[in-house]
């Protein structure tokens, strides 16, 4: 089954510092990968996605992620953290045809940005 593992349930960075949120996937088929962000008391919002093609994917709010097949990773980065980036971040992988390609989510990483 397709799954993702997010390393680190909590990450703390200083404002202006690099943000790195880790995600590793397991998939028996070419993966379709996603990053979502959840602000308090809100639903999940799509940040970016990888389907095929270019392995470096740019998303909203200055975030980007790189698909590395050899490392089975899809880490999320942002060069300079902003206070407004504080939120919960979820990595997800599309399932296979048996599951209707439904997304399987990681447990999430809570990002704290300190002044």
Residue 72 or 105 with smaller CB distance to another protein: 105
CB of 34 vs another protein, minimal distance in Å: 5
Distance of CA 98 to the CA centre of its chain: 24
The answer to the question of residue 112 lying near another protein (CB under 8 A) is no
- Return all residues near 98 (Cβ < 8 A) that are at least 6 apart: none
**Residue of 12, 26, 84, 99 interacting with another protein (CB under 8 A):** 99
Contact 19, 65 (CB under 8 A): no
Written as six digits, the tokens of 10 are: 């909590």
Which residues 57-86 are close enough to bind another protein by CB under 8 A? none
**Candidate segments 16-24, 42-50, 66-74, 76-84, binder of another protein by CB under 8 A:** 42-50
Q: Residues binding another protein: what is the number (CB under 8 A)?
A: 23
Instruction: Report the alpha-carbon distance of residue 48 to residue 16 in Å, rounded.
Output: 21
């Amino acid at each position: 089954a397709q799954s993702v593992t997010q390393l680190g349930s909590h990450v703390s960075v200083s404002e202006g510092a690099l943000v790195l949120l880790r995600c590793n996937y397991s998939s028996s088929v070419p993966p379709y990968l996603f990053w979502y962000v959840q602000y308090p008391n809100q639903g999940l919002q799509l940040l970016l996605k990888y389907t095929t093609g270019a392995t470096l994917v740019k998303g909203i709010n200055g975030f980007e992620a790189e698909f590395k097949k050899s490392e089975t990773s899809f880490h999320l980065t942002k060069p300079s953290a902003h206070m407004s980036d504080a939120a919960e971040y979820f990595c997800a992988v599309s399932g296979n045809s048996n599951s209707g390609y439904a997304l399987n989510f990681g447990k999430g990483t809570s990002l704290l940005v300190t002044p």
